[in-house]
Amino acid sequence: MRLLVGLGNPGPDYARHRHNVGFMAADAIARRHGLGPSRKHFHGRACEGVIGGEKVTVLKPETYMNDSGRAVAAAMGFYKLDPGQVIVVHDEIDLDPGRLKVKLDGGAGGHNGLRSIDAHVGPDYWRVRVGVGHPGHSDLVERFVLHDFSREELALMDKMVEAIAEGLPLLLEGRDSAFMSKVDVLVHPRPPKAPPEPAGGPPPE
């Protein structure tokens, strides 16, 4: 059993904010893997299903970002989960848009959603850090993350969350490096290699 949490803020005014990429990923995962209908539960919206042979609950806390830990703790308590069975998808300003990193435990790095989760359940859960870029100065961060993606960024994020959804079975298997590689290839496809020239060089013109 795994709990996958997408972080964000509820309501249409926040839907395309950089801070809401976790919600975007949760929705993409539910669509791709045909999870059950979303319902109000655990101070948020939750849906359940099986991904890669493993039962998964996808949770979007509706407590607002700064109180995300309350929803995560409620779901963990209900399912009797350890932190290592929890995966949290969130925005990461220290990664460029279109880049992703996975790590187990660590600090909150100034992210209020992670800080809240750490306070409720400790830091020993998996984090899928989705790059949204940095505004260039710490004083600008709050306004930056609480602002809509540009049209170009949104197209890239749509590709990113679909790649996360497609590669998720690898992460559930514990293959975090393979998951990161798959997402990178899906978001940044390599051009096909040119076929080798025939022996003896190119044909005469």
Catalytic site residues? 19
Torsion angle in degrees (nearest 10) through CA of 93, 19, 84, 108: 50
Strands, E, within 52-112: which ranges?
A: 54-61, 86-92, 100-104
Half-sphere exposure of 52 (CA within 13 A, CB side): 15
CA distance 179 to 169: 8
Cα–Cα nearest to 145, from 94, 203, 194, 91: 91
CA distance 69 to 76: 10
CA distances from 169 to 42, 158, 174 (A): 24, 19, 9
